[in-house]
């Protein structure tokens, strides 16, 4: 099958077709998700919580991300591989470039970075050097303590406008993709209408171009609190690959997220 590229995501957006994204951390499940038709795999710093047992993503190191990126890169064939820059990779431009370079050498095809409009200079420098960037806005887990917890962002008018403005600014700086996490549906629609690049959502409603979930959530491997935007796709399926395929099809057909998964 033809490999998914940034051009593929742009074409999906232009045609009004949704694309599917899922986290992955090892070769076996990456191969499984790839075979199931998942368009984008993310080696997320969520591995700190779902693999390492931490309470947040903050303890995850660059070495952790590089290791899992290499594993996923060896397992996938068709899917586009997006990779998180971990906490404090954006401390300065030099470190940002060095860390992104390591991820690209490990197999990343798109690098995701958290931050708002102030990240424009870093994104501009990465783009100049051939590193495609996804800018992560809304709930940014690396700022969980500053945000006061894992809460919906952009509910107030001023905050919503700041997110829209940041998306525009970062796209102008070169961001190839925007990812919105835990924002109201109407705000996600505003951001999608404000930029010309693909917009991925998690807890952002159905009106964006792509949807992403954590693999463990898709498989119902939750302990305790289950976020509103999560759905167990393994329920009623005979295999993990069937669950991934059900998730991909639900996204492609715009059946997921439904109203009950939306803020």
- What is the DSSP annotation of 214-260? -HHHHTT---S---TT---SSTT-SSHHHHHHHHHHHHHTT-SS-GG
Does residue 181 carry a catalytic annotation? Answer: yes
Average pLDDT over residues 223-252: 94
What tens digit of pLDDT does each residue of 97-153 get?
Answer: 999 999 999 999 999 999 889 999 999 999 999 999 999 999 887 776 666 656 788
Coil, helix or strand at residue 81: strand
Domain ranges across the chain: 6-261
Q: What are the Cα distances from residue 153, in Å, to 22, 162, 163, 168, 214? A: 22, 11, 9, 17, 19
Name the catalytic one among 17, 181, 196, 249.
181
CA 81 to mean position of chain CA atoms? 11
Fold of 6-261: TIM Barrel (3.20.20)
How large is the greatest C-alpha to C-alpha distance in the chain, in angstroms? 49
Strand residues in the chain grouped as ranges (E): 19-23, 40-43, 80-84, 110-114, 133-138, 177-181, 199-202, 210-213
What tens digit of pLDDT does each residue of 35-67 get?
Answer: 999 999 999 999 999 999 999 999 999 999 999
């Amino acid at each position: 099958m033809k490999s998914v590229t940034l051009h593929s995501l742009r074409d999906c957006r232009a045609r009004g077709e949704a694309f599917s994204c899922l986290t992955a951390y090892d070769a076996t499940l990456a191969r499984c998700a790839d075979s199931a038709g998942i368009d984008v795999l993310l080696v997320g710093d969520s591995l700190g919580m779902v693999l390492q047992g931490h309470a947040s993503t903050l303890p995850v190191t660059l070495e952790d991300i590089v290791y899992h990126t290499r594993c996923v890169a060896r397992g996938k064939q068709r899917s586009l591989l997006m990779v998180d820059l971990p906490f404090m990779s954006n401390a300065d431009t030099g470190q940002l470039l060095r860390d992104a370079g390591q991820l690209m050498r490990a197999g990343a095809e798109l690098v995701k970075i958290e931050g708002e409009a102030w990240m424009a200079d870093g994104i501009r420098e990465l783009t100049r050097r051939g590193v495609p960037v996804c800018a992560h806005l809304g709930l940014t887990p690396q700022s969980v303590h500053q945000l006061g917890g894992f809460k919906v962002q952009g509910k107030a008018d001023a905050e919503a406008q700041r997110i829209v403005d940041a998306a525009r600014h970062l796209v102008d700086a070169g961001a190839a993709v925007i990812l919105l996490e835990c924002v109201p549906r109407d705000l996600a629609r505003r951001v999608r209408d404000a930029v010309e690049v693909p917009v991925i959502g998690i807890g952002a409603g159905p009106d964006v171009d792509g949807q992403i979930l954590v693999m463990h959530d898709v498989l119902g491997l939750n302990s305790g609190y289950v976020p509103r935007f999560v759905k167990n796709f393994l329920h009623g399926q005979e295999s993990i690959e069937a669950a991934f395929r059900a998730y991909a099809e639900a996204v492609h057909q715009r059946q997921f997220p439904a109203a009950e998964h939306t803020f």
